[in-house]
Amino acid sequence: MARKIIIDTDPGQDDALAILLAFASPELDVLGITAVAGNVPLALTEVNARKISELAGRSDMRVFAGADRPLMRPLITAEHVHGKTGLDGPDLPEPSMPLQDQHAVDFIIETLRSEPAGTVTLCVLGPLTNIAHVLLRAPELAPRIKEIVLMGGGFFEGGNITPTAEFNIYVDPQAAQIVLQSGVPIVILPLDVTHQALTTAKRIDRFRALGTRCGDASVALLEFFERFDEEKYGSDGGPLHDPNVIAYLLKPELYTGRHCNVEVDAANELTFGMTVVDWWGITDRPKNAFYIRNVDSDGFFELLTTRIATLP
């Protein structure tokens, strides 16, 4: 039976590749896509989620708009990375499929109540605001969540929006801390992993060779997205973050990590938004997350390319 997931996202070129990978994987049953403000404002992320759904031939997918701002602070966006639309690169048409009337948080709550307990996984590709709202409004639903698998944080690699903070966590650290303290099983795919998954020229050429609509769009998305990190890091290609969430569900054997305590600093100026990972078990704080440290990057890109090859 296919694993039931909800994708919570702020597309974002890398979010787009993650969504395409999920659509291309029969092992996953995508119950809906919930948009949140993050890489760009909510008015764009919900449109982008529908653009990607239509690109993949999934105009039947339900897309819901959620939180338009973090819990306790002004929204910080990343147009300098993703462009003014959040999906700069390919020329994707405006979507014709409708945005659902229901609020994303209401949809998640309703789904967790209606599906059998322990069967729905939340795949979080952006700030954790929507998920925090769910846990604040309906804390009794936490035990019904099978797992939260998220891209966020960084410890060994430091940060990508400040010296110590990764973007998704930095945008809404209070939401991240609520999720980490929820008792739900959590898997974290941090910068420590995604910085190993580089969109090299050779890897992008694999997408180019597909000769499909989704393959061509993937090339345009990746080539726009990587330009910022190539200049920043001086590397051949940039880190591909969010598809690791979906790849982990499909092939967890590509990843290694350990259970440990993870907390978020939401108080101090220099380390605001930092994920503090007790990797070595130095404290007696409870182990609240499975923190991924390494990925087989060749295996990851092989999975991503071969699956997207099955899309139109």
Active site residues: 241
Task: For residue 30, give the H/E element and its range.
Answer: strand 28-35
Cα dihedral: 240, 243, 248, 251 (round 10): -100
Helix (H) or strand (E) holding 295: strand 289-295
Query: What contacts 24+ positions apart, CB below 8 Å, involve 154-157?
Result: 154/190, 154/191, 154/192, 154/275, 155/190, 155/192, 155/275, 155/276, 155/277, 155/279, 155/291, 156/192, 156/293, 157/190, 157/191, 157/192, 157/195
149 and 254 Cβ atoms separated by less than 8 Å: no
Evaluated on CA atoms 128, 134, 136, 139, the torsion sign reads negative
Instruction: Report helix, strand or coil for 155.
Output: coil
Cross-strand partners of 124? 8, 150
Q: Which residues lie across from 7 on neighbouring strands? A: 33, 123
Residue 231: exposure state from Cβ atoms within 10 A (0-12, 13-18, ≥19):
exposed
Report CA-CA distances (Å) from 8 to 46, 84, 158, 271: 11, 21, 24, 26
8 Å CB contact between 35 and 45: yes
82's CB contacts (< 8 A; 6+ apart) are 12, 13, 39, 40, 88, 225
Residue 266 · residue 308 · CB < 8 Å: no
